[in-house]
Amino acid sequence: MPIIERHGRAKGVGSDMVETLEKLFNEEEIREAVKRLASAISADFGGEEIVLVSVLKGSFMFTSDLAREMKGHVIIDFIRASSYGCNTTTRGTVTLTKDLETDIAGKNVVIVEDIIDSGLTLRSIREMLLARNPRSLKICALVDKRARRQVEIEGDYVGFSIEDGFIVGYGIDYAERYRNLSAIFVVQGK
């Protein structure tokens, strides 16, 4: 059942588009997943300070909810990787268009990412951050999309696992739209 229809001009397409969205995870399911992840992270670090490295823009909403559920001292910082598809080189490395302001050397770091798809973005980010000698480096992903994985990378903390499908909502976009939706939807036909 299509529950939302939006009409608009999709960026770079130049024609009117209609996207039909179907709800995949509701607000309650998301809240429960976020609580579970926050408890697991907090338990693993036993009250030690944790630096959450939120990967913009897709994980801004996830990060803010996750941080509120965590115990102990939490430092929050942001990075932005060159957008998927455009600046990804053939080797699959991404560049940072916004870097951390926090020195993570000797710190417990958790990368907070919206989606692991091919895994190329996270692999690249992980290598960059490991070079800065954190005390520990973990990956927390809201959604693990398994079908198109190109590199071996696993989230240490994963909210939802799905096979495939293009999703939006709860911070995640399609051509910059739908980030403001509180639930997670699948874009039909994508």
Catalytic sites, residue numbers: 117
Report H helices in the chain: 27-45, 60-69, 120-130
Instruction: Kindly identify the residues of this chain, within the stretch 20-79, that bind ligand IMP according to CB under 6 A.
Output: 58
Among 19, 54, 58, 116, binds Mg ion (CB under 5 A): 58
Nearer to Mg ion, 35 or 80 (CB): 80
Burial 99-128, CB ≥16 within 10 A → b, else e = ebebebeebbbbbbbbbbbbbbbbbbbbeb
Q: Are 93 and 82 in contact (CB under 8 A)?
A: no
Q: Minimum CB separation from ligand IMP for residue 176, in Å? A: 11
Whether the Cβ atoms of residue 45 and residue 54 lie closer than 8 Å to each other: no
Binding span for ligand IMP by CB under 6 A among 22-30, 101-109, 115-123, 131-139: 115-123
> From ligand IMP, Mg ion, none, which one binds at residue 172 (CB under 5 to 8 Å depending on kind)?
ligand IMP
Residues with Cβ within 8 Å of residue 13, at least 6 apart in sequence: 175
The verdict on 139 binding ligand IMP (CB under 6 A) reads no
Angle at 153 between CA 39 and CA 185, to 5 degrees: 65
Q: How many residues bind ligand IMP (CB under 6 A)?
A: 16
> How far is 139 from 78, CA to CA, in rounded Å?
14
Q: How far is the CB of 134 from ligand IMP (least distance, A)?
A: 21
Binding site for ligand IMP (CB under 6 A): 58, 84, 113-122, 145, 166-167, 172
Residues at the contact surface with Mg ion, assessed by CB under 5 A = 58
